[in-house]
Structure 1
């Protein structure tokens, strides 16, 4: 599998965060990694809601 340059940058950033000392940042990635499709849909709605209210 080949990664696009943007995917490679994202992977590097994630690796840097996981290797870092900030436990909150690491726990956020762990939580997202365990989300199922329904969880991700709910999160997407929550993230988009404030943006839609501004429109």
Structure 2
């Protein structure tokens, strides 16, 4: 990364490999928890399975 007069430039070298990206994180806020808890049991189970289940996003 180079800084010239307030301009940031990022140089990408496609042949250089440093780390492997294996995924990106996520989070549930308090508000999300409250809303999830207000769902019916079947809907809550389906939602949580879609996030954490083996056939979902597998967080």
Fold agreement, TM-score > 0.5: no
Greater strand share, 1 or 2? 2
Greater helix share, 1 or 2? 1
TM-score, with normalisation over the residues of structure 1?
0.35
